[in-house]
Amino acid sequence: MSSTGNQQSSSGNQQQQTSSGNDKPIMVTGATGKQGGAVVDALLALNDPTITILAVTRNPESEASQKLMAKSKQIRLIRGDLNNTSLTYENAKFESPNGKIWGVFSVQTMGMGVKIEDAETAEETKQGMGLIDGALANDVKMFVYTSVDRGGAEKSWDNPTSVPHFRTKYLIERYLRSEATGRMNWTILRPVIFMDNIENNLPSKIVMTAIKSSIGNKSMPWIATKDIGFFAAQAFADTDKYNGVAISLAGDELTFDQLNEKFKNFTGHDVPTTFSFVGSALNWLSNEMGQMCNWFRDEGYFTPNLPELRSIDPHLLDFDTWLRQDSDWSPQVMAAKDGTTTTTDVVVEERTTTDAPPKSMDYVSPNYQYTDEQKQIYEQGQQAAVDQHQSG
């Protein structure tokens, strides 16, 4: 492809392309999302001048992309489409200071409506495998893939689960191990559910309601996306140590009641949820969400050795610390938004019962006649299910 074509397809960064001979250009997919953004921040925190961050984004001109690039001169925006990995790699090489790609951080967006029998042909699977093929074709030295825990270090290798977007990650993991071992260094990160998915908006309320109704008093591990970024950066910083390793990641383990108590102690309110019938209806209407919540109940994530992880990352966030530092209710986060809000100003919507279904509705009958508003809520909830374990 001509350099002119590359310029039109990439970010248009007009930077002098110089090479020191030991450069480490790292391509980060999902760079404006939750996980990819955390990786960018963690790579910058390494203070390694040899690293150039090739931040892949669909739209380099977007506000989020421009805000990302403004963080550091080490960041170069790459126009990319994971359905066209060949072009994405070409664009990244064009922006690379030495024309090469040393490392890749791989995260994909889960597609909606994927059935378990279609996991092998799902867009997410094709994108993940395509990035692996592209890395091998372009002599990438280190490949870090973010997946999902499915029961611990050993069980996850052989446990595709009944959750469609867990099975796609299982397939990508297996492909990476079989194709890259001996040809390219690789690390797999297996995070559990994100603390960052607890937000003060309707989709989050629906998801938290569904989780609450599914797990009961069962404890569940949680992770902050900031810590996923930390471990990804460590893998790039010490490839010998992390090569061929799959790591389950968590920062805390809590029952829903424990989580809610901590949340209430900090904010004065319960974790934002909605009517229980909405969570039940979502599980019934959405195959993806229902399968995931059933898996939470019947199997669930593995809780790794938290003291061991904390020995590697002394700043590994527990839930209390995440609330104070990074949540929607954090004073720092709110101050960054408008410069005036404090935790005492946060108002979590109070639920009313004027238009609620009967309290006896522990499940939703297929014959129940939904209002247009309820249908809209369910659609938002299905989209919220997509936000689990992905870039954001």
Question: How far apart are the C-alpha atoms of 91 and 85, rounded to whole Å?
Answer: 10
Find the mean pLDDT for residues 240-254. 98
3-196+221-253, CATH topology level: Rossmann fold (3.40.50)
How far is CA 89 from its chain centroid?
Answer: 22
Task: Judge if pTM exceeds 0.85.
Answer: no
Give burial (CB, 10 Å; 0-12/13-18/19+) of 366.
Answer: exposed
- 8 A C-beta contact, residue 100 and residue 93: yes
Q: Tell me the CA distances in angstroms from 206 to 33, 82, 271, 282, one per residue in order.
A: 21, 29, 11, 8
What digits encode the pLDDT tens for the residues 104-135? Answer: 999 998 776 688 888 999 999 999 999 999 99
Q: 185-191 and 220-223: which strand pairing?
A: unpaired
DSSP letters along 270-300, please?
A: PPP---HHHHHHHHHH-HHHHHHHHHHHHT-
Question: How far apart are the C-alpha atoms of 88 and 98, rounded to whole Å?
Answer: 16
Helices (H) and strands (E) in the chain, counts: 17, 10
Ordered by start, the domain boundaries in the chain are: 3-196+221-253
- 8 A C-beta contact, residue 278 and residue 254: no
Find the mean pLDDT for residues 75-92. 97
Under the banding of pLDDT at 50, 70 and 90, the label for residue 79 is very high
Find the mean pLDDT for residues 271-277. 76
What is the structure's pLDDT at 291?
86
What is the structure's pLDDT at 39?
99
- Length of the chain equals 392
Shortest CA distance to 68 belongs to which of 144, 128, 11, 131?
A: 11
Residue given tokens 């029961």 in the structure block: 151
- 8 A C-beta contact, residue 30 and residue 107: yes
What digits encode the pLDDT tens for the residues 57-72? Answer: 999 999 999 999 999 9
Q: Quick one: angle between helices 202-215 and 372-386, nearest 10?
A: 80
Q: Quick one: angle between helices 225-237 and 34-45, nearest 10?
A: 50
Say if residue 278's pLDDT is above 60: no
Say if residue 342's pLDDT is above 60: no
Sign of dihedral through CA atoms 134, 135, 136, 140? Answer: positive
